[in-house]
Amino acid sequence: MEKYTVVVNNMKNQDDANKVLEAIEHVWGLGQIEVNLSKKEAKFTYDERMASFLDFEQAIKDTGFEIKH
């Protein structure tokens, strides 16, 4: 399992955090996920045989949020 933490720049409230959570949950191969609104970050694990980091990055971007690298 791969582990990533991403900073979601424009996540401002719980609705935004829920949208990010839902976007990540829809990517195949997800293991665990935690979205922390106060830190503006999402931590997740995934099976690299089923998905890549780019899949998760695109899912977040598709909901209108920006990821800080």
DSSP 27: S
Q: Residue 51: what residue type? A: A
pLDDT 10s digits, 15-53 = 999 999 999 999 999 999 999 999 999 999 999 999 999
The pTM assigned to this predicted structure is 0.92
- Count of beta carbons in the 10 Å neighbourhood of residue 13: 9
Contacts of 8 (CB under 8 A, 6+ apart): 16, 20, 40, 41, 42, 60, 65, 66, 67, 68
